[in-house]
Amino acid sequence: MRSFLSYWLPLLVYASVIYYLSSIPHLPRFLTFYSIDKLSHVGEYAILGILVIHLLKKYYPDLGYKRLKIFTVLLSTLYGVCDEFHQYFVPFRDANLFDLFADGIGSLLGAFIYIHLTDKGK
């Protein structure tokens, strides 16, 4: 139970928050400017990347940092693909490859932050 509460629950709650925000047809006006939108994607997926690598490191401790980062970016970006697909069907929203690119950059940033803060990249 402790594993679920420490590793799975934060990731599932956060992924649900991303899904919920993607379901809102009209986001607040300050988030709709192009550069702010991309920065929000980077920040949003950096947090997702931190949560994903935290979970992966728990279940695959011998994977190595390079593979942890690769799998983190792949899994987080795959969620970004699903999110963009979902947004395609939300009124006044669209699927955007630049958003997906920002999601991938954010997840990589999150993986680097996690490694730097937890193990100093050893």
In a domain, 107, yes or no: yes
DSSP string over 49-69: HHHHHHHHHHH-TTS-HHHHH
The answer to whether residue 91 is domain-embedded is yes
57 within domain boundaries: yes
Other C-beta atoms closer than 10 Å to the C-beta of 25 total: 9
pLDDT at 121 over 80: no
Residue 22: per-residue pLDDT = 92
In which domain, by residue range, is 111 found? 2-23+33-119
Task: Round to whole Å and give the CA distance between 104 and 86.
Answer: 17
Q: Could you give the number of structural domains in the chain?
A: 1
Residue 75: inside a domain, yes or no? yes
pLDDT at residue 120 in the model: 61
Cβ(37)–Cβ(31) under 8 Å? yes
Closest CA to 112 of 42, 65, 45, 43: 65
**Confidence band, pLDDT 50/70/90 cuts, at residue 3:** confident
Residue 28 covered by a domain: no
Q: What is the pLDDT of residues 20-79, one digit of tens each?
A: 999 999 876 655 555 688 898 999 999 999 999 999 999 999 999 999 999 999 999 999
Within-domain flag for 108: yes
In a domain, 103, yes or no: yes
**pLDDT score recorded for residue 37:** 81
Structure-token pair, residue 113: 């932050």
For the segment 100-117, what is each residue's pLDDT rounded down to a tens digit?
999 999 999 999 999 999
**Residue 64 counted as domain residue:** yes
Rounded Cα distance, 14 and 42, in Å? 15
